């Protein structure tokens, strides 16, 4: 049996993490969460998620910087990254995509929009076997 795709959510808001995790688990995804960039980076290497949901405003390292760091690594260059943020001006969205995010979702969003966005970015990603 195929394992459900693993989604890592990096967001310092417990409420936002819970909301996104429940929406994704309801439709069958495995969900892992982290509350800051450092913890998120560790979990990316430990858990090898199939998709990353990344908040822009994080303690320590912001989502834009984390996204750039991930894209600089060969093994993570194709990892689907969805940025989420209350920073939702056109400039914020354009900057997020320029840092390497596949999608940028302004908060608040519905469960349906979140699930649809994850489904959109996942099919193109096939993890490299080590």
Q: What is the pLDDT of residues 47-101, one digit of tens each?
A: 999 999 999 999 988 999 999 999 999 999 999 999 999 988 999 999 999 999 9
Q: Is residue 124 scored above 70 in pLDDT?
A: no
Q: Describe the strand order of the beta sheet including 6-10 as a list of residue ranges.
A: 30-34, 6-10, 51-55, 81-85, 103-106
- Percent of the chain's residues with pLDDT above 90: 88
Q: Write the CB contacts of 104 (distance below 8 Å, at least 6 apart in sequence).
A: 82, 83, 84, 85, 92, 93, 96, 97
Query: What pLDDT sits at residue 129?
Result: 37
C-alpha triplet 78, 62, 59: angle, nearest 5°: 130
> What pTM was computed for the model?
0.92
Domain 6-121 CATH assignment equals 3.40.50.2300: yes
């Amino acid at each position: 049996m195929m394992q459900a795709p693993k989604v890592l959510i990096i967001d310092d808001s417990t409420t936002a993490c819970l909301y996104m995790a429940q929406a994704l688990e309801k439709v069958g995804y495995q969900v892992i969460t982290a509350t800051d960039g450092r913890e998120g980076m560790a979990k990316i290497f430990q858990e090898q998620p199939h998709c990353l949901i990344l908040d822009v405003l994080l303690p320590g390292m912001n989502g834009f910087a984390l996204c750039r760091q991930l894209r600089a690594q060969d093994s993570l260059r194709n990892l689907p990254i969805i940025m989420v943020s209350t920073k939702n001006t056109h400039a914020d969205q354009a900057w997020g995509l320029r840092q390497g995010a596949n999608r940028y979702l302004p908060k608040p969003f519905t469960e349906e929009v979140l699930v649809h966005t994850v489904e959109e970015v996942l099919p193109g990603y096939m993890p490299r076997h080590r």
